[in-house]
Amino acid sequence: MKDSIIKQKFDTLRSFPVLNSKILQIAENYVNHSDDWKLLRVNPLKFAAEHSLSENDSVDFFVHAAKVGLFDFAYNLICPMCGGIVHSHHKLDEIEGKEFHCVSCNIVVPTLLDDQVEVAFQIHPSLQKNHIDPFVDVTNYFRYFFSENFDKSNELKTWIQSSIRDYAKLDTDDSYTFEFDAKYGELQGHLIQFVSIDRNTMCLFSVDPNLPRTNQVYLVDLMESGMKPDAVSIPEGHHHFTIHNRTRFQVGLNVLTPNPKEIERIANSFPTVRHSFLTAKMLLNNQSFRDLFRIQKLSPDLNLNVKSLTIMFTDLKGSTEMYDTAGDILAYKLVQEHFRILTEIVRKFKGAIVKTMGDAIMATFSTPTEGLLAALEMMQRIESMNLEWKKEGYEIGLKVGLNEGSALAVVNDERLDYFGQSVNIAARVQGLAKSGEVWLSETVWNATGSEDLVKQHGYFFRKQKATLKGVGTPVPVFQLSRNKFKSPPMWKQLFNK
């Protein structure tokens, strides 16, 4: 550990106003006194819980620490069944494809930023050489290549251990041999699987009772593109298997006799507990990440799926007139104060501002509840701000629209942006609002506790239907206002937004 350089990193971190002294003191002590395993993949949410910190503060710290070179990002593609780290990347745009295959479970998993991309933080290799040998034994192997955020039941662990027939470490050009009496049966011997979790490849031998019983020798080449062959039907008999490592890498090899039906039964009866971790979606909704890494060189071909994103659009009513009456300097000051308030609130509720458009913003949140709470607090803060400015004869009116749905993360104008119908609907819903109103799509309104939150904040609400540009049929929307509604709900038409 290079103590003097680490001290310099923390001195630099102390210059960021958003980071408080408490978390810096805790983090510095953690870095200086943790072993290689603890610094391998730090979960900011677990770190916050263990040290009685807010999750916001913890994520902000690790994002800033990555910026100054104290930690590296690790984007891990996680199998939801076994918790295996199928792929690990240091850059967001290294994630490719709409799905990935977990060889351990033999399932295809959609590459969703919501659930399947874990963001962890590794101590930067220039500061400390990690001495963990993941291949030294099967215990290290599983600990290294599986996320600790997935806690398997004792029943499932026992069954997995019983299915492991052997483990081997293979250097480049090494071979491994294994003998096995293959028998057809539901409980044992029906399948023989050679798995390299670190290379995410396998070869599956399935016993076919219809083949004449013989003793045979099977050769498998572990190539950089995978195992060849990858699936073979074999007869019952005493067989010899040879696996040859033809890659440039040291690899681990597990020999298993899996039973897919039994593992599914045990997993359903004794489910794996998934602990909270920072997902890629949550990271993209972190304002510090947006601010510090907005000039990060991302591939123009980047497109990643988000299953559930809460999208907010805001706009100001009366700002143009105010420029005419108050003059540019005063009007600019008021509009900038409005931006400062909105940014502060977005950050508070774990969101991020994606972009500004004139006097408007687009922001995103990980959950509808966080987006709705942010919108309601924005209204309250703007009302308070107006109380002061009304004495000067000026005020502004905020309009907010929220929608929740799937989206595609893309690169637009060298900035990470979102694309899709959910984004369009959020913009259209905001266009329905008048000054001082918040409008919600049905997906936001149906989120747990939304109606209670609206009532607690002193808002009246009513359901309407609106014809939104680009949406084929009228959709339900919810109008929130401080004032009682004087007229019955009407069908709203929106053509030009």
Q: What is the CATH number of the domain that holds 402?
A: 3.30.70.1230
For 49, the domain range is 3-132
Q: Does any domain span residue 283?
A: no
- The CA-based diameter of the chain, rounded to the nearest angstrom, is 96
Q: Does any domain span residue 486?
A: yes
CB atoms within 10 A of CB 197: 24
Q: Does any domain span residue 287?
A: no
Same domain, 106 and 227: no
Tell me if residue 491 falls in helix, strand or coil.
Answer: coil
Q: Does any domain span residue 188?
A: yes
Cα separation of 305 and 112, whole Å?
A: 5
pLDDT value at residue 391: 65
Cα separation of 113 and 409, whole Å?
A: 9
The DSSP 8-state label assigned to residue 93 in this structure reads G
Same domain, 119 and 162: no
Same domain, 169 and 68: no
H or E stretch at 471: none
Cα separation of 273 and 255, whole Å?
A: 26
pLDDT value at residue 104: 81
| Closest C-alpha among 408, 398, 354 to residue 376 | 398
3-state secondary structure 48-93: HHHCCCCHHHHHHHHHHHHHCCCEEEEEEEECCCCCEEEEEECCHH
Q: Which of 252, 271, 290 lies at the terminal end of a domain, its last residue?
A: 271
Same domain, 324 and 468: yes
Same domain, 475 and 330: yes
H or E stretch at 181: strand 175-182
pLDDT value at residue 494: 43
The number of C-alpha atoms within 13 Å of 116 and in the hemisphere containing its C-beta is 23
Residue pair 288/17 in contact by the 8 Å Cβ criterion:
no
Q: Does any domain span residue 385?
A: yes
Same domain, 195 and 329: no
The number of C-alpha atoms within 13 Å of 122 and in the hemisphere containing its C-beta is 21
Same domain, 314 and 376: yes
Residue corresponding to tokens 């123009």 = 300
Strand partners, 72: 122
pLDDT value at residue 493: 45
Which tokens is 243 given?
């696996």
Q: Does any domain span residue 146?
A: no
Same domain, 51 and 105: yes
Local confidence pLDDT in tens for the 497 residues of the chain: 578 899 999 999 999 999 999 999 999 999 999 999 999 999 999 999 999 999 999 999 999 999 999 999 999 999 988 899 999 999 888 887 789 999 888 889 999 999 899 999 999 999 988 899 999 999 999 999 999 999 989 998 898 888 899 999 999 999 999 999 988 865 445 789 999 999 999 999 999 989 999 999 999 999 999 999 999 999 999 999 999 999 999 999 999 988 878 888 888 899 889 999 999 999 999 999 998 987 556 666 677 899 999 999 999 886 666 665 656 677 778 888 899 999 999 999 999 999 999 889 999 999 999 999 999 999 999 998 888 777 666 778 899 999 999 999 988 877 789 999 999 999 999 999 999 999 999 999 999 889 999 999 999 999 999 888 877 788 999 999 988 877 665 544 443 33
Cα separation of 247 and 268, whole Å?
A: 37
Residue pair 362/312 in contact by the 8 Å Cβ criterion:
yes
Provide the CA 8 distance to its chain's centre, in angstroms. Answer: 30
Q: What are the residues whose beta carbons fall under 8 Å from the beta carbon of 373, sequence distance 6 or more? A: 349, 453
Residue pair 389/381 in contact by the 8 Å Cβ criterion:
no
H or E stretch at 479: strand 475-481
Same domain, 238 and 347: no
Please give the sequence-ordered ranges of beta strands (E in DSSP) within 338-437, or none if there are none: 352-357, 360-365, 397-412, 415-419
Question: Which DSSP string corresponds to 119-143?
Answer: EEEEE-TTT------TTSSHHHHHH
Same domain, 94 and 198: no
Provide the CA 349 distance to its chain's centre, in angstroms. Answer: 17
Q: What are the residues whose beta carbons fall under 8 Å from the beta carbon of 495, sequence distance 6 or more? A: 469
Q: What are the residues whose beta carbons fall under 8 Å from the beta carbon of 489, sequence distance 6 or more? A: 462, 463, 464, 465, 479
Cα separation of 396 and 438, whole Å?
A: 15
CB atoms within 10 A of CB 40: 19
Same domain, 316 and 355: yes
Q: Does any domain span residue 147?
A: no
Same domain, 326 and 469: yes
Report how many domains make up the chain. Answer: 3
Cα separation of 433 and 431, whole Å?
A: 6
Q: Does any domain span residue 99?
A: yes
The model's pTM: 0.88
Tell me if residue 276 falls in helix, strand or coil.
Answer: coil
Cα separation of 20 and 57, whole Å?
A: 8
Residue pair 145/239 in contact by the 8 Å Cβ criterion:
no
Question: Which DSSP string corresponds to 208-259?
Answer: -TTSPP---EEEEEEETTEEES-EEEE-SEEEEEEEEE-SSS-EEEEEE---
